[in-house]
Amino acid sequence: MTVQLDSASISSKELIARTGISRATLNNYISLNLIPAPAIRKPEEPGGPTKIGYFPVWVVERIEKIQELKGTGMRMAAIAAHFNKDEVEVTEDDSQRVGDFAYQSIERIVFPAILVNQRWEIIWINQMAEKVFFKESVHEIPTAANRNILRLFLQESLVRRFRNWKEILAAHLRLAKRDLSEDRVEQICRQVETCPIDELRQLWRESKPLQDRPITQQELVFKPLKGKTTRHTLFSSDFREGTLLLYTPLNMQLDQILNLLMGRERLVKALLSRRIPSLTSLCILAGRLESGLHLRTALPPHEYFDLINQVILTSHQCFKDYGGTPGRSIQEGVVCFFLSGPDSPREYLHSAIQCAQALKQMITALDKRWKYKKVWKNTLQLNMGIHCGEEWLGTIPSSLAFEFTVMGETLIETVNLSEFAQGGSVWASKKVIENMLPEDRQRVEFGVGLGTGRERFVSPGIYSQVRELVSGDDLQRRALGEISNLAVTEIINVHPSIDQDL
């Protein structure tokens, strides 16, 4: 929306007071292009805020008219179409048309904004970005892979909507080069029937990667097939969780973007609290602490909590080493998620088993320290279960952090499998072993122990249902009914690869 600012203006505070609308409603009207974004300058009166937004006085009449139309039952989309039909193209000369974007919350961002992870899958998007780029609601796309922004762009969303779709795609490819390989981009393209792979390959090779900086900017022009040309700046900001893309008005100043990004921690927390749940292929490792003593009664409270914290911190370090994501801890135990990656879609299964083997050794070292500290014969062991499946992955916010969790039977069955394991053993489902890469499976020793006492031996390479390994009474007493038919095997050892030996 392009307008000529009147010489007379009114502050945002005065505008809200005169019209009786909320600030959220005011920002909504700006996002719908019903009124111009405010010009930012120092307030005329001394004291108070150092900068404030000012609107043309005619905006008061516009808002009153909007409220009047709403009162007749007209929907906001129809109201927006009514007022925007006569607007003219946005040009670079609109130097006064700058919004108050030093926002404290992401809901108040009135321009398109998208957060992508390192695989360039959309994990958060606002309504303005959906409106500009995509016809469908990205939030309703169930799988993370199908929310890959490049894939969505290539599914004709750019080709059908913009005359200069190659320029828009190239701007994103420059950023994606820091995270993705050419082979990975072509792999994404092959998943789209209408993908122009030759043109994409040429664009990729011609796109020069941007310098590796915390914040980058590119000028970006949108030339829609229907509608008016608009000019923007594409800002990108790197976070540990991914890359935040902001499509701002061209004349918006860099210091305004910096004001938005100054609260990085608060901004990321707000984004993650709204990340889109994903139907994800994953492997889950659950571990439960076993001890010869009832630790809660055997230890003073401060030592009990010290021990549990050491178990959790030790486990989380091991999870990090093997690319896992810690989940919400279970009572005297831990949970970790290993997610399928775009380049090695089955490597995560082997990573989970390697992690369990390493964690077993780390807990053994922790046990030795506590034997020395307490001078006891008690043995600390972590019984572990490993299972895989496809489940909904999301986050649960708390006052301190965000914890990953999943919905579905896979997590429940994994925790139950850790309850089944005893004596510091590691048990995995048949599904995990059979879905591993052949070369990874060859390095894993697994089997089922048969017999008792001195006659007990491990029959290698076989599986058994849980109900065949415990008596009916134990099955009920240990609440293992939900996994009674689950085919499992014990992980005996994991041999390193040749590369690891070297």
Q: In terms of DSSP bridges, do strands 242-249 and 113-116 run parallel, antiparallel, or are they unpaired? A: antiparallel
Q: Which strand (E) or helix (H) includes residue 449?
A: strand 444-450
Angle at 202 between CA 199 and CA 205, to 5 degrees: 150
CA distance 376 to 38: 71
The predicted structure's pLDDT at residue 499: 53
Confidence at residue 462, expressed as pLDDT on a 0 to 100 scale: 92
Are 171 and 234 spatial neighbours (Cβ–Cβ below 8 Å)? yes
pLDDT for the residue 353? 95
Tokens found for residue 414: 């994994």
Predicted local confidence at residue 58, as pLDDT = 84
Give 289-308 as a 3 state SS string: EEECCCHHHHCCHHHHHHHH
113-126 burial: b if 16+ Cβ within 10 Å, else e: bbbbbbbbbbbbbb
Burial of 48 (0-12, 13-18, 19+ CB in 10 A): exposed
The pLDDT, as a whole number, for residue 379 is 92
pLDDT (tens digit, 0 to 9) for every residue of the chain, 502 residues total?
A: 433 334 467 888 888 888 888 887 887 787 677 888 777 766 665 555 556 778 888 888 888 888 888 888 777 777 877 776 544 343 333 333 334 443 445 556 778 889 888 889 998 888 888 888 887 788 888 778 888 999 999 887 788 888 898 999 999 999 999 888 888 888 888 888 888 888 888 889 988 887 766 678 888 999 888 888 888 889 888 776 678 898 988 766 555 565 555 555 555 555 555 666 767 788 999 999 999 888 888 899 889 989 998 998 889 889 988 888 888 766 788 999 888 765 556 789 999 999 999 999 999 999 999 999 998 889 999 999 999 998 777 665 544 444 556 667 888 899 999 999 999 999 999 999 999 999 999 999 999 987 665 556 678 899 999 998 888 788 888 888 889 999 999 999 998 865 554 4
pLDDT of residue 43: 65
Would you state the structure tokens that stand for residue 451, as one six-digit string?
């017999």
CA distance 442 to 463: 16
Residue 450 pLDDT: 72
Rounded Cα gap, residues 304 and 481, in angstroms = 31
Classify each residue of 231-252 as buried b or exposed e, where b means 16 or more C-beta atoms within 10 Å of its C-beta. bbbbbbbbbebbbbbbbbbbbb
> Residue 97 has what pLDDT?
38
Grouping H, G, I as helix, E, B as strand and the rest as coil, residue 389 is: strand
With helix as H, strand as E and coil as C, how does 260-299 read? HHCCHHHHHHHHHCCCCCEEEEEEEEEEEEEECCCHHHHC
Asked if residue 408 lies in contact with residue 284, where contact means CB atoms within 8 angstroms, the answer is no
What span, in angstroms and rounded, lies between the C-alpha atoms of 437 and 345? 10
Of 1.10.1660.10, 1.10.150.120, 1.20.210.10, 3.40.309.10, the CATH number of 9-84 is: 1.10.1660.10
**Contact at 8 Å (CB) between 353 and 444?**
yes
| Amino acid at site 454 | R
Write down the pLDDT at residue 103.
40
In the chain, where are the structural domains located?
Answer: 9-84, 106-271, 278-501
CA dist 211 and 214 (Å) reads: 9
Neighbouring residues of 224: CB distance < 8 A, sequence distance ≥ 6? 161, 162, 163
Report the topology of domain 278-501: Alpha-Beta Plaits (3.30.70)
Question: For the domain bounded by 106-271, which CATH number is listed?
Answer: 3.30.450.180
